[in-house]
Amino acid sequence: MPLTARNMAIAPPHLSCTIVVIIGLICSCLTSSSSAGTEKGETRHRIAIVSSYDRGYLWSQETSTGAAAAFLEFGTLNDQEEIALLSATDHVENSRVVIRKWWMDSKRKSSRTEIAEATNRIVAAITEFHPDLILLGDDNAANYIGSQFIDTATPVVFWGINGLPLKYGLIDSLEEPGHNVTGVYQAGYLVESLGFLKRVVPGIETFAVLSDDSPTGRAKVKELQHLADAGRLPLRMLDSVVTNSFTEWKERALALQQQVDAFFVVNHNSIKDDNGDSIEQLTVGKWYLENIRIPECAHEKQFALEGLLCVCDDSGYNQGYEAVKLGYRILVGGEAPGKIAVRAPARGPLIINRVRAAQLGIDITAAMGVEEYVDKALALQ
């Protein structure tokens, strides 16, 4: 039965910030014997990629880069030209693989009707494509697309789920996921991001959270509040803003910067103007950087690229890379996905944006432990 706004309750109810990537991986080309098999006319493996978001979303670009690096390493794709072709056309073929990609665009098209339409469209396309492996990147894809392929003959690998992935019913446990599913998830590195901010600006004691009212945003704010209640944060959390209204978001941010020492800026991709029209992330970021004069941290590299001060990167690159590695283990190594433990990849680097540091009058020192620098602010360009 097609998903509609009325019957959507048959699918798992949660929406989350994420890329759904469905990949039918051909790695049998990695040995000479498998190459010979292809020459004899054996069917190439098929890769179907589905992203929760849109190609302009910075997080999606990070996960795609990581996945591409793994494809090159394992010999699935030949060179940067094939990667560029996939990026431009959502389709690439060679003697070993056929890859297709679809986008849910669920940041900008986030209503129940729009999510249902995207789910129906993509599930139909994947079914027709007959992939050999399904990679689900981020929460919305895992939730809505994944629920349509659990317990089928097609292996499923997810990436980018915020917090523990048990919430979508795709796995039985992290150690023994069962079914036809495994994957990697985001640990968040929220404590680490705040700890890094404390080293960058030692005098701060309090912070507030700024977030949109999206599945990802709500999950991060809830996790921060849980950590605060447990006394596990290096700063005191005094307040949080969770709204999709740009007017409210700006008003609360301006008021709170008079009350706290710093902000933890979470996702701000679902914010809308007073007419209900979506506002791009970098537009929100431009207003923030031009009007907020206290320091901030975030949890993903995309926000350092946008122009925010510092990040302990919950790496999108690592998410995409590690998910494709799992796909390789399944299709080439013959491992059952339900027997491969689900885990969170290692964190990415501690990143500081030198443009924002200069704007705030912060001198960067070796004691901060910076591991990577960003020398641009995309939101201000």
Q: Give per-residue pLDDT as tens, 322-351.
A: 999 999 899 888 999 999 999 999 999 999
- Please state, as a whole number, how many other Cβ atoms lie within 10 Å of the Cβ of residue 25: 30
Contacts (Cβ under 8 Å, ≥6 apart) of 69: 317, 320, 321
Percent of the chain with pLDDT over 90: 77
What ranges in 257-313 are assigned the alpha helix state H? 281-291, 301-306
Percent of the chain with pLDDT over 70: 89
CATH architecture of 8-187+316-339: 3-Layer(aba) Sandwich (3.40)
Residue range 243-256: mean pLDDT, rounded: 98
Q: Report the C-alpha gap between 252 and 112 in whole angstroms.
A: 28
pLDDT averaged over the chain?
88
Q: Could you state, in order of their start, the residue ranges of all structural domains in the chain?
A: 8-187+316-339, 190-313+349-380
Across the beta sheet with 236-242, the strand order is 236-242, 206-211, 262-265, 296-298, 310-312, 350-353, 372-374
Is residue 306 very low, low, confident or very high in pLDDT (cuts 50, 70, 90)? very high
H/E segment holding residue 98? strand 97-103
At 203-224, the pLDDT tens digits run 999 999 999 998 889 989 999 9
Residues 47, 96: contact at Cβ < 8 Å? no
Is residue 28 very low, low, confident or very high in pLDDT (cuts 50, 70, 90)? very low
> C-alpha distances in angstroms, 113 versus 187, 215, 269?
30, 16, 19
Q: Report the C-alpha gap between 345 and 332 in whole angstroms.
A: 21
pLDDT given at position 43: 56
Tell me the whole-structure pTM to 2 decimals: 0.79
Q: Report the C-alpha gap between 215 and 72 in whole angstroms.
A: 33
- Residue 26 reports pLDDT greater than 60: no
- Residue 2 reports pLDDT greater than 50: no
What ranges in 236-335 are assigned the alpha helix state H? 246-256, 281-291, 301-306, 316-331
Q: Determine phi and psi for 339, rounding to 5 degrees.
A: -105, -5
Can 8-187+316-339 and 190-313+349-380 be said to share one CATH topology? yes
DSSP designation for 74: T
- Residue 14 reports pLDDT greater than 60: no
Q: Report the C-alpha gap between 327 and 152 in whole angstroms.
A: 16
Q: Which fold has domain 190-313+349-380?
A: Rossmann fold (3.40.50)
- Residue 34 reports pLDDT greater than 60: no
**Strand-pair partners of 297:** 264, 310
Q: Report the C-alpha gap between 150 and 12 in whole angstroms.
A: 12
The 3-state DSSP class for residue 350 equals strand
Q: Going along 138-266, which residue ranges are E strands?
A: 156-162, 181-186, 206-211, 236-242, 262-265
Give the amino acid at 356.
R
Q: Report the C-alpha gap between 65 and 317 in whole angstroms.
A: 6
CA 141 remoteness from chain centre = 11
